[in-house]
């Protein structure tokens, strides 16, 4: 979108072009507003994702705490069970040793080859030993049963412990992944926030330019006067001051082919290459009617020399005069720069008479 600075020359065609440019600004404003809305919606969506992620992480942290408690309790119970197995194993060994001792005693007390007599259970030492053996064997059987039961309990606890340990690993991994996911979302959110601010800044600039252009069009429409016939202005032709010392013309007045698009364009002035900061001078006595930044032309000065003659100086690095000031021919008004749509220090210089572009080379010495 390229604003037309020539609206200042108070011609009807320029006013119409200004209106077209205003429409272009309005369309760009609408487009940027839509982009802002989209960016804000994305911001809202990302914010909700972060909130959901935080909530999920809190639930996982609560679950992790429960699993850790369960794991700790299971570990304690498992240790107790293992201690029981160790204890009952020791008792079994003692009972088995005792049984072995009683059996040996029983055989030692029995006459050779007289087992049947021993089994009859007379009330003597052998009978007492048999009774002890029987009781001892019963205790061993009970302890073996108890040990088996505890082993089954131990296996269950071990399985549950392993399951809880795996659950802890999974929940911990979920928490880690959620944090990583939230980091990515946060970066995207930061990007969208910057995009939102960029759109807001662009909208503010467009609205400012829109308001400025609307006021300019209104002012030009109110002040527009019928075009003058050729007169006093043309008496100055060929006698005006060259706007800078030295410099090289890089683009002449009139038609030219754009180097990138090959489109035929019209230059309504001339472009002069010069060093950054080179002094720019007024080509003649006149009143500064514009001295400010204008989109596409950078820092701009326009001087009304009377009788419908205007001179325009664009891409300036510095503006040394204010709007409304009267300047003399050859007086310094600014310096060469590269503001606006150029990349290297250049002075864009125009002359208009009654709104019509003129070849500046026909007007300066």
Query: Could you give the CA distance from residue 178 to residue 166 in angstroms, rounded to a whole number?
Result: 18
Residues 63 and 174 both lie in one domain:
yes
Last residue of a domain, one of 159, 184, 202: 202
Helix or strand holding residue 281 (H, E) = strand 279-281
Most confidently predicted of 12-26, 72-86, 278-292: 278-292
Q: Any idea which residue has 């208009």 for tokens? A: 352
**Is there a domain that residue 21 lies in?**
no
Helix spans in 109-243 (H): 115-119, 125-223
Burial class (CB in 10 A: 0-12, 13-18, 19+), 25: buried
Distance CA 101, CA 95 (A): 10
282 and 168 inside one domain = no
Q: Do 304 and 164 share a domain, yes or no? A: no
Does one domain contain both 178 and 62? yes
Intra-chain end-to-end CA distance of the chain, in Å: 35
Looking at the structure, do residues 247 and 307 belong to the same domain, yes or no? yes
- CA–CA separation, 50 and 47 (whole Å): 5
Tell me, yes or no, whether 6 lies in a domain.
Answer: no
Q: Are residues 115 and 190 in the same domain?
A: yes
Helix, strand, or coil (residue 268): coil
Q: Are residues 80 and 144 in the same domain?
A: yes
Whether 101 is in a domain gets the answer yes
| Residue 220 within a domain | no
Q: Report if residue 207 sits inside a domain.
A: no
CATH of the domain at 290: 2.70.70.10
Q: Is residue 320 part of a domain?
A: yes
CA distance 174 to 131: 64
The verdict on 184 and 56 lying in the same domain is yes
Q: Give per-residue pLDDT as tens, 312-352.
A: 999 999 999 999 999 999 999 999 999 877 889 999 999 99
Say whether both 191 and 275 belong to one domain. Answer: no
Quick: pLDDT tens for 244-274. 998 999 999 988 886 766 667 788 899 999 9
Looking up residue 52, the CATH number of its domain turns out to be 1.10.287
Q: What is the pLDDT of residues 92-136, one digit of tens each?
A: 888 778 777 767 766 665 444 444 444 444 445 566 667 777 777
Residue 1: band (very low, low, confident or very high) from pLDDT cuts 50, 70, 90: very low
Question: Rounded to an integer, what distance in angstroms lies between the CA atom of residue 37 and that of residue 119?
Answer: 103
Count the residues in the chain.
365
Same domain, 291 and 357: yes
The answer to whether 175 and 43 have CB atoms below 8 angstroms apart is: no
Of 162, 184, 202, the domain-final residue: 202
Half-sphere exposure of 149 (CA within 13 A, CB side): 7
Per residue in 32-65, pLDDT (tens digit) is 888 888 888 888 888 888 888 898 888 888 888 8
Residue 290 lies in a domain: yes
DSSP structural state of residue 271: E
Q: What pLDDT is stored for residue 43 in this prediction?
A: 80
Q: Tell whether 30 is covered by a domain.
A: no
Structure tokens given for 237: 């032709």
Clarify whether residues 149 and 239 are in a common domain: no
Checking if the pLDDT of 181 tops 70, the result is yes
What residues make up the domain containing 141? 41-202
- Sign of the C-alpha dihedral computed for residues 40, 46, 49 and 51 taken in this order: negative
pTM of this prediction exceeds 0.85: no
Mean of the per-residue pLDDT values of the chain = 80
Are 184 and 256 members of one domain?
Answer: no
Number of separate domains in the chain: 2
Q: Answer whether 31's CB lies under 8 Å from 173's CB.
A: no
């Amino acid at each position: 979108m390229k604003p037309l600075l020539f609206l200042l020359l108070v011609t009807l065609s320029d006013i119409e072009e200004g209106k077209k440019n205003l429409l272009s600004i309005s369309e760009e404003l609408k487009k940027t507003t839509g982009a802002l809305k989209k960016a804000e919606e994305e911001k809202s969506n990302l914010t909700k994702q972060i909130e959901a992620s935080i909530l999920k992480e809190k639930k996982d942290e609560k679950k992790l705490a429960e699993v850790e408690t369960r794991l700790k309790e299971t570990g304690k119970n498992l240790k107790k069970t293992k201690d029981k197995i160790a204890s009952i194993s020791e008792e079994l060994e003692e009972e088995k040793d005792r049984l072995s001792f009683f059996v040996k005693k029983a055989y030692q007390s029995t006459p050779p080859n007289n087992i049947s007599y021993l089994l009859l259970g007379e009330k003597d030492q052998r009978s007492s030993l048999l009774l002890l053996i029987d009781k001892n064997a019963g205790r061993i059987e009970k302890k073996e049963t108890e040990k088996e039961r505890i082993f089954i309990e131990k296996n269950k606890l071990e399985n549950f412990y392993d399951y809880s340990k795996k659950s802890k690993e999974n929940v911990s991994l979920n928490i880690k992944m959620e944090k990583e996911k939230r980091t990515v979302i946060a970066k995207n959110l930061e990007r969208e926030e910057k995009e939102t601010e960029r759109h807001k800044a662009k909208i503010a600039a467009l609205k400012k330019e829109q308001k400025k252009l609307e006021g300019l069009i209104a002012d030009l429409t109110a002040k527009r006067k019928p075009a003058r016939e050729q007169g006093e202005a043309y008496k100055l032709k060929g006698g005006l001051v060259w706007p800078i010392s030295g410099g090289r013309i890089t683009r002449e007045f009139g038609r030219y082919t754009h180097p990138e698009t090959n489109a035929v364009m019209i230059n309504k002035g001339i472009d002069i290459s010069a060093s950054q900061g080179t002094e720019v001078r007024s080509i003649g006595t006149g009143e500064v009617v514009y001295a400010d930044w204008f989109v596409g032309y950078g820092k701009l000065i326009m001087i009304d020399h009377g009788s419908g003659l205007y001179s325009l100086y664009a891409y300036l690095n510095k503006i040394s005069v204010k709007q409304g000031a009267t300047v003399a021919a050859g007086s310094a008004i600014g310096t060469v720069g590269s503001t606006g749509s150029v990349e290297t220090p250049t002075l864009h210089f125009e002359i208009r008479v009654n709104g019509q572009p003129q070849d500046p080379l026909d007007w300066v010495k």
